[in-house]
Structure 1
């Protein structure tokens, strides 16, 4: 049954690659393709504060296996046996035809791709509290490697001296520590009466 099974996975950061690896173990002949709209895949988002704080010296370390092998497109193709296409956004699903429409984020061209099984592993989005000015200049969200790169660049340029950090969950507290380690004055704001 798995010989001709075409599996399309939407999302290539955490759940998508993990799902593809598991499927290849139980259905080795399946043809699996992951579509990820961003340029970064299979990274440890929970480790981003460690990069900001200097514990992880290179951002690439967030994409490495425990033994230092980088999880990139070539790794998944050559070692794990499935394809990953970055910069490709799934913009439509036709359940009757069993196809997805995939848009190249750079060129805008769209292609229909057939599937037998479809996995949606698109991840989450940061909570954006209903605060006036949340989209103003100087307000940054911290959710992706792009957010991490942007913040690191601003910190290196000395553009930031004080930070009001909204959210005292695990990542928020780790970010507060990382920013303090970089010499910033940090104020943590939390809507609940407790942290974490």
Structure 2
């Protein structure tokens, strides 16, 4: 059963988590096929909004993260020694992933709402979304520090099977999160639907 934008009204409130706007330094990064990598200054990318994944001395950014950071002027992206612009990076990502336009639009929208968003590949979803103001950490977590929503991004003409829907609901239930379907229309607007199990 879906409830259109019911529980999501709180997103429209003024966020209590806001990424610092005073950051002036632009970090150089390198495009490596399906990801963008930063070495020097990577903490300046990760810390303000928990972008990317730290692996040793490098920070790996998913394409949605890199595109948004490039659009906001937080990073520069180079490929084969040449600096590339937002449209070039976006087109590269779209060539790798036909669903990238929907994923990017939803990611950008959630970030603009002041929410903390992480990729959800290892969970079998597009994104994990946390409460505003959450500080990510390893180890034991409070209820607020756990993933609140898992998000699947689809175009408006997407056909969903009952089996796929059932798997998605079970996934959300197993990690004690809510499941959101983010439907992106032809104008690029995202509408969110909460889908949950109901016991008769």
Q: Which structure: larger Rg?
A: 1
| Pair in the same fold by TM > 0.5 | no
Normalised by the size of structure 2, how large is the TM-score?
0.25
